[in-house]
Amino acid sequence: MRTVDVVIVGASLAGAAAAKRTVDAGLETVILERKELPRHKICSGILSPRGHRFLLENFGPLPRETLHEPTSCRGVTFHFPSMVSMPMDFFHGTTPHLHRKYSDHWAIQRSGAEVHDQTSFAGLEEKGDHVLVHARKHGEPVTYRARQVIGADGPSSLVVRAVYPDYTKQIPWFFVGQKFHEIIDCPLSSEYFHFWFHPGLGHYTWSHARDGRQIVGVGFKRGDNFAKKHAVVQNYLEEKHGVRLKPAGDDHEGCAENFGPSLINRYVFGKGNVLLTGQAAGFLNMIGEGMSCALHSGAISGEAIVEARLRNRPVQEMYRRMIASEVRRCSDQWNPLKIAFDKPHEADFPEALMKLSWRERGLVLRDMWNFIVLFKEFKWGRQIAGAALQRPIVGGYSMQRWL
């Protein structure tokens, strides 16, 4: 049995950020990763300016091999069924287009933690003052004894399932898939990430350029057919935007996503000496960018462990107090009052809206409402409205809703 201070499950950006904090504090930290590193990661790779600043401040300048081509993204363009398009530049300039296979591995290496790849998490046991982590490496059982454990293993987190066995049954799940196409003709600007507020295309539809090809992505309620959904989007892009693409290559990909927690303030942060962070905890920014909140929440989970030891306080108490700032930043992006009267995003939606004619503004608001209605079946409306009204009164979001 290996005895360490901290075990982090998942060689992710959240895991790297958490490890950076614990290693810098002198805590012996081991990261478990089920795949061989560097490993593939499904992601758009479009990092927000806030996430870019975090990487620069904590890990240094990004090496060229950690970036896709084009190497940067200027901003986001929203497209609507009324054929109104709204390009919005990021505040503070362009941001990197990360190649997650290499950027994650680079950050993990820079964290200074000991990494055990090809080691799959199999379960855990809370023992009061420590946690036993059970894993398998090359099929053989391995056990770790740690004072604290951080689950940074993404939306389909096995650590979440170990701590809250019924949680995954309580939230709606979506499938997000993308296919890669050689380009015949694409009028969509390669400088922007493109997102469609179109209920007929799916719950989450996007496209952007990568390494000489065009990504066409679609998200929808789990159980629908990916190939059919993708074909609808591809045909729409050709008919409405003049995007002509060759048939997709064989390297299409997809994964499960948990969109709901950040919309309705239903985060899951763990129990006892087990902390959950990043998308495992439910963090996801608007338009599906999860890297920046993964980095910041990961760092906070590591800081909470350090602070709990210094102050001799329960780690959950410290973590929940400290993570409230990141909850505000993330849930504000989905808060309709914040969107209407503030600037919670890193691109200026209100300014872009005001540049439109009165007629176009009306069309955009109508199209956005029709898109929101697509989510009616999940019964999030009252929960979102309640959280939005509570935000200015208490200055944040209720901790009582967190698991």
**The pLDDT of residue 191:** 97
Could you tell me the domains of the chain?
Answer: 2-74+90-166+259-332 (3.50.50.60), 174-257 (3.30.9.10)
The dihedral built from the CA positions of residue 57, 300, 286 and 11, taken in this order, carries a sign that is positive
**The pLDDT of residue 379:** 87
Enter the tokens of residue 210. 């990568």
H or E stretch covering 50: helix 49-58
Alpha helices in 112-225 (DSSP H): 158-163, 167-170
Contact between residue 184 and residue 246 where contact means Cβ atoms under 8 Å apart: yes
Bridge partners of 4, per DSSP, are 146
**The pLDDT of residue 204:** 92
Phi (first) and psi of residue 30, to 5 degrees: -120, 130
Q: How many CB atoms lie within 10 A of CB 74?
A: 19
* Residue spans of the chain under pLDDT 50: none
**The pLDDT of residue 133:** 98
Contact between residue 203 and residue 375 where contact means Cβ atoms under 8 Å apart: yes
Provide the residue type at 234 as one letter.
Q
Contact between residue 23 and residue 150 where contact means Cβ atoms under 8 Å apart: no
Q: Give me the residue label for tokens 């005001």.
A: 354
**The pLDDT of residue 317:** 97
Helix (H, G, I), strand (E, B), or coil: what is residue 395?
coil
pTM of the model: 0.96
Write the pLDDT tens digit of every residue in 337-352.
888 888 888 998 888 9
Contact between residue 86 and residue 78 where contact means Cβ atoms under 8 Å apart: yes
